[in-house]
């Protein structure tokens, strides 16, 4: 059973739904039956995309680490006994 992406023509809500056969689901937000199935892009993984994801994760982790250190320093300064 594939998962399809839909958009409601009444309220514009976008959602994913596991669909069996040719059934058309109701909108998850307003319950309307006039929904349009969207084209889904395939998830492509390659060495390039993996490397980009790793660089982004390392950058995010560095920033979070810096924030934690700064928060710890600020806490120690304000709670000096």
Per-residue pLDDT reduced to its tens digit, 57-72: 999 999 999 999 999 9
Please give the structure tokens belonging to residue 8.
């409601």
Q: Phi-psi bin for 55: left (phi > 0), alpha (psi -120 to 50), beta? A: alpha
CB 16 within 8 A of CB 34: no
Query: Other CB atoms closer than 10 Å to residue 33's CB: what's the count?
Result: 11
pLDDT at 3: 80
Distance separating alpha carbons of residues 39 and 6, to the nearest angstrom: 9
Model pTM?
Answer: 0.47
Is the pLDDT reported for residue 1 higher than 70? no
pLDDT tens digits, 38-55: 887 777 788 888 899 899
pLDDT tens digits, 9-28: 999 999 988 888 778 899 98
Q: Which helix (H) or strand (E) holds 52?
A: helix 47-78
Please give the structure tokens belonging to residue 21.
């056969």
């Amino acid at each position: 059973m594939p998962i399809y992406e839909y958009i409601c023509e009444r309220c514009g809500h976008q959602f994913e739904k596991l669909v069996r056969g040719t059934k058309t689901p109701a909108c998850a937000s307003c319950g309307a039956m006039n929904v349009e199935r969207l084209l889904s892009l395939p998830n492509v993984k390659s060495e390039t995309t993996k490397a980009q994801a790793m660089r982004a994760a390392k950058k995010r982790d560095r920033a979070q680490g810096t924030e934690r250190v700064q928060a710890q320093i600020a806490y120690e300064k304000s709670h000096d006994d």
